[in-house]
Structure 1
């Protein structure tokens, strides 16, 4: 299998997941496997819940990126991997894993994936989803309050203390590494069609 790896990065709430889902829906689950960088948050069993809440989850060091790199190499070699499952309600990994199988297209999604040279070296295409900061924070509030059971105050405090400064320090500069910059993510139909054609052309070569 001639696997291609597509990296989709961008700030929190930028629309990375929408773009990823539209690509997967177009080609089908048999053709596309997805790995999210958030699954590789480091395990912190040594810390109580109160201390885990205080950790900076928007810094590159919060991820076990070497494990993700190893998993991508295994997938490219045709081997399935057991991806960790992160539980946002306890700010820690669960004891479960999810089986991800090799596929012709592997999509790697995450805020900080372009910060890692090792991850970038594995990618055949690097896409940065570029969305206005006001839109991103509103989407993050809705997601974290409705889906992750957080309070509005905690989301806003985290955004101001870690998310925004880490975005400016790490995420925004990583945009320079992108091969394609997509405003508004999966809602940008022109960019989506370009990506679909690029993937389709690569699949024909197999």
Structure 2
């Protein structure tokens, strides 16, 4: 398991921390910076691999903060016509469970420099709430979720694509701890869902998407090493992204 949060922050933000080349010593608001298309980082992997943890610590290292993290889980389809028992029994590991049209539309808005209002999903009721969360076109955006490298249209938007590998035992232990802590689940129900949909879905849709990643990191490795490796990949992706923008501007002129 990755280290405690305080230690992680010291590892990322302590002396000698590694920054992306565009990050200056003085924090600037996104409104101060010249407008450019956000650099989209997609992070995929099995349930319990550490996608959310890596996304938030990478956002801290890039100095854009938690507002830059976009969870794929927020885009689960809403089924008010189903009762709670039917919603709880649904397959949430299938690509069909995600409103990918809405996700793509909101990513298009952000990449065009416009804000978007993402949904908020309640895992206890398996429903979208009436609330939304504002997304802004920050210099870096981090999309994290099981299937973000599965869909060609979504992974095609990502400037940096990261896949997290993890062994099944570690992933399951993390899933049990999270679902008991955050989603009101008991261990037996987590085991049933894991066997019925989670691991079969991983084998069918998620693991095959690893080949589309620019880099793979070990979800059991020290977090600071994963953050540093991801920043190196962002740095490597930046020249290609800038060149593509320049070519696009030249064609437009």
Normalization by structure 1: what TM-score? 0.93
Query: Residue 49 of structure 1 is aligned with which of 70, 84, 104?
Result: 84
**Corresponding residue for 2:156?**
121
Query: In the alignment, is residue 40 of structure 1 matched against residue 75 of structure 2?
Result: yes
Q: How many residues align?
A: 205
Query: In the alignment, is residue 5 of structure 1 matched against residue 22 of structure 2?
Result: no
Residues 168, 200 of structure 1: alpha-carbon distance in 2 compared, 3 angstrom cutoff = closer
Contact 1:31/1:104, CA 8 A, preserved across alignment: no
Contact 1:15/1:186, CA 8 A, preserved across alignment: no
Rg (Cα) greater in structure? 2
Task: Report the alpha carbon displacement of residue 198 of structure 1 after superposing the two structures with TM.
Answer: 4.2
Task: Report the alpha carbon displacement of residue 28 of structure 1 after superposing the two structures with TM.
Answer: 2.0
Task: Report the alpha carbon displacement of residue 17 of structure 1 after superposing the two structures with TM.
Answer: 1.3
Query: In the alignment, is residue 136 of structure 1 matched against residue 171 of structure 2?
Result: yes
Query: In the alignment, is residue 76 of structure 1 matched against residue 111 of structure 2?
Result: yes
Residues 155, 30 of structure 1: alpha-carbon distance in 2 compared, 3 angstrom cutoff = closer
Q: Secondary structure at the match of 2:49?
A: coil
Task: Report the alpha carbon displacement of residue 117 of structure 1 after superposing the two structures with TM.
Answer: 0.7
Larger strand fraction of residues: 1
Task: Report the alpha carbon displacement of residue 186 of structure 1 after superposing the two structures with TM.
Answer: 7.2
* Structure 2: runs of 5 or more not aligned: 1-35, 246-253
Residues 96, 166 of structure 1: alpha-carbon distance in 2 compared, 3 angstrom cutoff = same
Query: In the alignment, is residue 65 of structure 1 matched against residue 104 of structure 2?
Result: no
Over the aligned positions, Cα root-mean-square deviation in angstroms equals 2.0
Query: Residue 185 of structure 2 is aligned with which of 145, 150, 155?
Result: 150
Instruction: After superposing the two structures, state which structure 1 stretch, 81-90 or 29-38, moved more.
Output: 29-38
Give CA-to-partner distance per residue, 1:46-98, whole Å, 9 cap, x none.
11111111110010000001111110110011111000000001011111110
**Corresponding residue for 2:131?**
96
Give CA-to-partner distance per residue, 1:139-184, whole Å, 9 cap, x none.
0000001111111111110000000111111111111111100012
Task: Report the alpha carbon displacement of residue 113 of structure 1 after superposing the two structures with TM.
Answer: 1.1
In structure 2, how many angstroms separate the alpha carbons of the residues matched to 1:99 and 1:168?
33
Q: Secondary structure at the match of 1:56?
A: coil
Residues 197, 173 of structure 1: alpha-carbon distance in 2 compared, 3 angstrom cutoff = closer
* Structure 1: runs of 5 or more not aligned: none
Structure 1 runs (4+) deviating above 6 angstroms are: none
In structure 1, how many angstroms separate the alpha carbons of the residues matched to 2:37 and 2:181?
40
